[in-house]
């Protein structure tokens, strides 16, 4: 069964450093998403991406964040200058069609720890 | 998206049916009910969704009341591996609707041996 994959599973970084989280969505999917979950809190939407542009983003997704689809298979989330409060699980998701008409499938997540 | 209300936690005996309720009294006619679950800190896993008819798949059944103000997710024969947080989410299914999933706190289901 096709699945979303994410690398690395755990990333440790120093405050102020840049990190790139990588995702490989399901191969025929066209819509891509990032969510995050701070330990003990709810899963929160960050951004959705289609046709090489952001289609929706939350207030969390400020100028420190960016997303990119650098090739035909990868989808990345970059945090330019990490803060302690960026420590969280980051989940990538994809769907075949627009998010409101189709099911989003999630990857296993990347645990980001900012020291 | 309509707000949902779920119990904070539930227990179920292994092998028995687990019935997880969800209230969505402000649901609109074009909003679907989706269920996801999250096992420990893994990524949310899609379970099932429906609009107004009852739905069944290999994982679960979804029963939606006739007025659509509430629904129940049924795991027919719960196993220890079904211990997870279960999220009920309602989403607009129409052009121009938000793409995001809005997760609440969900129901922590514990399946006991």
pLDDT tens for each residue of B31-74: 899 999 999 889 999 999 999 989 999 999 999 999 999 999 99
Q: Do A100 and B98 touch (CB under 8 A)?
A: yes
Tokens matching residue B72? 């129940």
**Which residue has better confidence, A96 or A82?**
A82
Which residue's structure tokens are 């309720």? B21
pLDDT for B99 = 78
How many angstroms separate the CA of residue B95 from the nearest CA in chain A? 8
pLDDT for A101 = 64
Q: Which of B30, B31, B101 to mutate to test the interface with A (most CBs of A within 10 A)?
A: B101
CB of A32 closer than 8 Å to CB of A106: no
- Counting residues of chain B whose pLDDT is more than 90, the rounded percentage is 76
How many angstroms separate the CA of residue B34 from the nearest CA in chain A? 9
CB of A3 closer than 8 Å to CB of A26: yes
Q: Do B44 and A106 touch (CB under 8 A)?
A: yes
Q: Is residue B18's pLDDT more than 90?
A: yes
pLDDT for B13 = 97
Tokens matching residue B66? 């006739």
Query: What is d(CA A108, CA A81) in angstroms, rounded to the nearest whole number?
Result: 24
pLDDT for B105 = 93
Query: What is d(CA A98, CA A88) in angstroms, rounded to the nearest whole number?
Result: 26
Interface residue B94 vs chain A (CB under 8 A): yes
Find chain A residues with C-beta within 8 A of B102's C-beta: 45
């Amino acid at each position: 069964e096709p699945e979303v994959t994410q690398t690395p599973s755990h990333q440790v970084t120093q405050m102020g450093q840049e990190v790139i989280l990588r995702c490989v969505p399901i191969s025929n999917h066209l819509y891509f998403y990032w969510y995050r979950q701070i330990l003990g809190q709810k899963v929160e939407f960050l951004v959705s991406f289609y046709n090489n542009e952001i289609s929706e983003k939350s207030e969390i997704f400020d100028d420190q964040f960016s997303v990119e689809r650098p090739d035909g298979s990868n989808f990345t989330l970059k945090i330019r200058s990490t803060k302690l409060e960026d420590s969280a699980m980051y989940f990538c998701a994809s769907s075949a069609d627009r998010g409101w008409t189709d099911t989003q499938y999630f990857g296993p997540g990347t645990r980001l720890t900012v020291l | 998206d309509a707000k949902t209300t779920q119990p904070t936690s539930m227990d179920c005996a292994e092998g028995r049916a687990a019935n997880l309720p969800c209230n969505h009294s402000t649901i609109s006619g074009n909003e679907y009910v989706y269920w996801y679950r999250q096992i420990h800190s893994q990524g949310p896993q899609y379970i099932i969704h429906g609009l107004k008819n009852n739905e069944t798949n290999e994982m679960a059944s979804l029963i939606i009341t006739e007025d659509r103000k509430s629904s129940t997710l049924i795991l027919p024969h719960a196993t220890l591996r079904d211990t997870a947080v279960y999220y009920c989410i309602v989403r607009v299914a129409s052009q121009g609707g938000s793409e995001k999933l809005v997760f609440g706190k969900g129901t922590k289901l514990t399946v006991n041996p």
